[in-house]
């Protein structure tokens, strides 16, 4: 069994309907007016869906959540079932006419994972790909940081990220890595084609083999004294640029960006 905690994560899990709930524990102590209304909304959703509700003191909830930041609600749920890469590929293109996917190459901080999921959901990303190893688990901390967006986002877990990227490329999806050594500014790239954005590890960026597998390497110009942004901040910047371009210029159902310089590696190399 897994544990979810926090008002938004538990409520969004109830609304999404993708989780099997065992029971939900709610604080019996008096809450502030706004929080009390939100807790009551969670209780009402549980009762509508026939999910058991238990009222516990806050100390018990803290022990269950392993943090005092549970906001008065903790849910006990079945473990999340991940999709396969083929499930993401089987989905039709979105309203913009082209897929936008996010792949994470070794993001190990659950708060970064949660923040990226939240940004991906807001930017209209069609699915997220994470490797089984060297990746933060989709834990209660990650889900709370995502403000419940993780319960709505399609997430595939793969054994080998490089093979997954190659499979995406075979399906006419361009692979774009974000790297401070990139030669193209992120806002100069045409995001209206089928694209998977690959983000690397905290502090170290993309693995060498991942970098070589990408069709393009993009960079975010930095005006200050540091050379790069935190991975979750960088991901938000790039994903929202992609969303902006797709709103202004919907893609045709042909996955080809503009001609690229000869020095850049092409699709399938």
In the chain, DSSP finds a helix count (H) and a strand count (E) of 9, 11
Span 142-151, average pLDDT: 93
Asked if residue 258 is part of any domain, the answer here is: no
Asked if residue 269 is part of any domain, the answer here is: no
Beta carbons within 8 Å of 251's beta carbon, 6+ residues apart = 96, 97, 98, 192, 193, 194
Q: Is the pLDDT of residue 34 over 90?
A: no
Provide the domain limits for residue 208.
Answer: 85-248
Q: For residues 178 and 181, what is the distance between their CA atoms, to the nearest angstrom?
A: 9
* The length of the chain, given as a count of residues: 269
Tokens 């084609």 sit on residue: 193
Q: Is the pLDDT of residue 92 over 80?
A: no
Bridge-based pairing state of the strands 155-158 and 127-131: parallel
pLDDT confidence bin for 95, thresholds 50/70/90: low
Lowest model confidence (mean pLDDT) among 116-125, 221-230, 245-254? 245-254
For residues 61 and 98, state if they share a domain. no
pLDDT confidence bin for 255, thresholds 50/70/90: very low
Span 8-34, average pLDDT: 88
Span 150-169, average pLDDT: 96
Span 148-161, average pLDDT: 94
Q: For residues 196 and 83, what is the distance between their CA atoms, to the nearest angstrom?
A: 17
Lowest model confidence (mean pLDDT) among 25-34, 203-212, 258-267? 258-267
pLDDT confidence bin for 94, thresholds 50/70/90: low
For residues 68 and 118, state if they share a domain. no
For residues 131 and 20, state if they share a domain. no
Asked if residue 268 is part of any domain, the answer here is: no
Q: Residue 60's pLDDT is what?
A: 95
Total domains present in the chain: 2
For residues 72 and 90, state if they share a domain. no
**16 versus 92: which is more confidently predicted?**
16
Q: For residues 58 and 5, what is the distance between their CA atoms, to the nearest angstrom?
A: 12
Q: Is the pLDDT of residue 14 over 50?
A: yes
Span 195-208, average pLDDT: 93
């Amino acid at each position: 069994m897994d544990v979810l905690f926090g008002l938004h994560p538990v409520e969004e899990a109830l609304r999404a309907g993708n989780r099997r709930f065992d029971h939900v524990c709610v604080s019996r102590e008096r809450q502030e007016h706004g929080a009390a209304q939100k807790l009551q909304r969670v209780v009402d959703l549980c009762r509508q869906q026939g999910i058991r509700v238990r009222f516990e003191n806050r100390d018990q909830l803290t022990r269950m959540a392993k943090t005092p930041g549970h906001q008065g609600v903790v849910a006990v749920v079945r473990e999340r079932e991940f999709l396969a890469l083929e499930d993401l590929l089987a989905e039709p293109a979105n309203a913009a006419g082209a897929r936008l996917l996010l792949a994470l190459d070794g993001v190990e901080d659950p708060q970064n994972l949660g923040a990226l999921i939240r940004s991906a959901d807001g930017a209209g990303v069609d699915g997220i790909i994470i490797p089984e190893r060297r990746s933060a688990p989709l834990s209660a901390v990650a889900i709370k940081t995502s403000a419940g967006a993780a319960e709505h986002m399609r997430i595939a877990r793969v054994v080998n990220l490089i093979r997954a990227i190659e499979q995406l490329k075979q399906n006419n999806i361009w692979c774009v890595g974000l790297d401070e050594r990139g030669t193209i500014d992120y806002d100069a790239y045409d995001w209206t084609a089928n694209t998977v954005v690959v983000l690397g590890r905290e502090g170290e960026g993309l693995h060498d083999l991942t970098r070589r597998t990408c069709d393009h390497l993009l960079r975010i110009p930095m005006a200050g004294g540091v050379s790069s942004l935190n991975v979750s901040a960088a991901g938000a910047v790039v994903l929202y640029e992609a969303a902006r371009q797709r709103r202004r210029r919907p893609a045709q159902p042909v996955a080809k960006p503009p001609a690229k310089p000869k020095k850049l590696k092409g699709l399938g190399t």
